[in-house]
Amino acid sequence: MSTPSIATATPRLARRNRRRWWSLLVATLLTSAGLSAGTLEARAAAEPAPMPASTDTVVDLLPTADAYVSSRYPTENFGQSTSLIVDNSPQRHSFLRFDLSAYPAASLLSATLTLTTESNTSGGRQDLHLVADDAWTESGLTWDNQPAVGATVGSLTSTARATAYAIPLPVDAVAGKLGGDLSLGLDSPSTDGLWIDSRESAAPPVLRLDLAGGGGGTAPDTLITSAPQSQTTSTTATFAFSASDPTSTFECQLDAGAFGACTSPTTYHGLGLGNHTFAVRATDSAGNVDPTPAVATWTVVSVPTGSTDITLAAVGDINDSGNSSTTSRAGVTATSIRNAGVDAVALLGDWQYEHGDCADLVSYFDQTGWGALMPKIIATAGPTHDWSSATDTTGYQEHVEGTCPGQTSSKTLSATAWGSNVGPGTPHWVDLGAWRVFSVSSGLWRYDTAAAQATTTWLDTQIGAAVAAGDHPLVIWHEPYWTSASNTHSSTEGDYSRPWIDVLDKWNVPLVLSGHQHGYARFYPQDANGTRDDASGTQQLIVGTGGMGLYSWTDRAPNLVTQEADTWGWLKLTLHPDGHYAWQFEQVAGAGFTDSGTR
């Protein structure tokens, strides 16, 4: 299985001088991609030209707004994404806007737009267009209200991963925008989609203007002078920074958040476990913004990693209303998992029916034997039974954290690894040796679409950081994206999670686990568009067999290997340090079905 390169791989304390930054960035990216120095030399033409030794002024500008839109989600906004996506299946267009109001009287000699690709490659073509309508907003842009694109002013073809590409723009087209805004749009006739770093990323788009006779001066360089160690157990981080122009002001960014005004030193508190990124950029008194923010990365650690096999149990849809019997289907499933001595348990949602408030979780779920497994549980919540609205979070969260009234079971591994406030909608991850398990709640798409979109960005950033650290990602959420229909649930109920599937496809995530359908199913690895891809596709397994009544399958989804709905049990995964894994369905009651294999 291939592993994507990381577009955000940078030195911890990076002072990216304007004359050297592009070559340093491309060298770092190509090194992380395993490419040779000869390849680097062959791509030198992709770098913006160095500053001319003349009286002309070269200005580098960052977008003031950018976003992509998707035909699959015509009313959704993706303005805070760290990616700009261009594709024709499903259709996704991207838009950028630059502020040229500071240069009304300048004479333009040349203009170049530089875009940095992310972890995927594309053999197709992406076209860049002028956009006459500048009224769109980053937070309001959707497929339904996107502006019309105009003349084509450039293209990308046959792009490599994690590479900066410079697109020369027609001088007459850009010159007419001096003194105002310049909006650009990207679309594609190709189904071979491309991900590009957005302005929220560490390698944002840059518009370079070569101006004759004055354009406002040269942007300052930003330098981080103090930062945390690369690994720390502290949840507080302090940064000091400066700029080449002492009159500069600063904007700071933490992880996937927006840039905001800040001063040196700046301190952040209450950071979660995992990888973090801090970026800072200077703006001089003439309004010139450093287009290459200084970046520092570090990791907050407390859960040790290892280099041995990890055994992970996975199952969802557990306990019936009023049941506290250890000999029930839910009870014998808990006993079987406990006797197997697994390292962790991925609980795939719908823990307690009909609704998991504190009283029922303590009186029933815990008493069937699941309480003894709580310290090993990596939690994800299903809508309706674990939480029923954006405000119905207390019972699930208190139980996960071990604080329900009368609760004698311990808090979950999720709470141990991530800290407090692990509500049903809280995305989080847990390190298991060489693997990193990411938990997100599909209920967000029902109850809080803005939070679901923010989780998409979080998932993209955090999986990228895991891959950069050499970990193998595995993701859990309740409602499966790929599924056959059953006599209770349709095959399309999980369609809204497509943005998360796109993220998994982008990073070649090998495995996603879900419940919801009360049965077992295993799919061939496939890409986001449903094309079988045994080498780098995502394999989905549905394990809704934890004790609740089983649902009969009523059809067969594409790329399905096997499905069954007559046996209760759980999935045992053996996660190897090299990224391979083995699975075994452990039956505890019913027809005696089993399934096993390796990848």
Find where tokens 């070269």 sit.
58
Q: pLDDT for 512-548, tens place per residue?
A: 999 999 999 999 999 999 999 999 999 999 999 999 9
The token pair at 492 is 């399309």
How confident is residue 561, by pLDDT bands cut at 50, 70 and 90? very high
Question: What whole-number distance in Å separates Cα of residue 245 and Cα of residue 219?
Answer: 9
* DSSP of 473-539: EEEE-SS-SS---BSSS-SSTTGGGHHHHHHHHHTT--EEEE-SSSSEEEE--B-TTS-B-TTTPBE
> Rounded to whole angstroms, what are the CA distances from 268 to 10, 17, 237, 238, 459?
21, 27, 5, 6, 21
Predicted local distance difference test score (pLDDT) of residue 41 = 30
Tell me which of 31-35, 105-109, 255-259, 478-482 is least confident. 31-35
- pLDDT band of 192, cuts 50, 70, 90: confident
pLDDT mean over 172-193: 92
Q: Among 17-31, 115-129, 164-178, 288-302, which is the least confidently predicted range?
A: 17-31
Which range has the worst mean pLDDT, 31-40, 144-153, 482-491? 31-40
Specify whether the CB–CB gap between 365 and 347 falls below 8 A: no
C-alpha–C-alpha distance, residues 256 and 244, integer Å: 26
| pLDDT single digits (tens) 458-470 | 999 999 999 988 8
Q: Note the pLDDT of residue 217.
A: 60
Reply yes or no on whether the pLDDT at 40 is more than 50: no
Higher pLDDT, 44 or 452: 452
- Note the pLDDT tens digit of each residue in 351-370: 999 888 889 999 999 999 99
Residues 484 and 496: their CA atoms lie apart, in Å, by 16
> Who has greater pLDDT, 561 or 219?
561
Instruction: Say what the pLDDT of residue 216 is.
Output: 53
Q: Looking at mean pLDDT, say which of 82-96, 215-229, 284-298, 531-545 comes out highest.
A: 531-545
- Contact partners, residue 34, CB within 8 Å, separation at least 6: 5
- Give residue 213's pLDDT: 57
Asked if the model's pLDDT at residue 44 lies above 50, the reply is no
**Per-residue pLDDT for 396 more than 60?**
yes
Please report, rounded to a whole number, the percentage of residues in the chain having pLDDT higher than 90: 54
Amino acid at 62: L
Give the pLDDT of residue 408.
87
Helix, strand or coil for residue 60? strand
Report the alpha-carbon distance of residue 439 to residue 429 in Å, rounded.
Answer: 6
User: Cα–Cα distance between 393 and 398 in angstroms, integer?
Assistant: 9
Q: Taking a C-beta distance cutoff of 8 angstroms, is the pair 187, 149 a contact?
A: yes
Residues above pLDDT 70, as percent of the chain: 88
pLDDT in tens, 290-345: 878 888 888 876 544 445 889 999 999 999 999 999 999 999 999 999 999 999 99
Q: What is the pLDDT of residue 146?
A: 97
- What are the structural domains of the chain? 47-218 (2.60.120), 222-302 (2.60.40.10), 312-598 (3.60.21.10)
Q: What is the biggest distance separating any 2 CA atoms in the chain, rounded to whole angstroms? A: 85
Please give the mean pLDDT across all residues of the chain.
84
Mean pLDDT of 383-391: 86
* pLDDT value of residue 77: 84
pLDDT(456) > 50: yes
Statement: residue 51 has pLDDT above 60: no
**Cα–Cα distance between 479 and 205 in angstroms, integer?**
36
At residue 121, the pLDDT reads: 75
Taking each helix axis from N to C end, the angle separating 449-468 and 498-506, rounded to the nearest 10 degrees, works out to 10
pLDDT at 481: 95
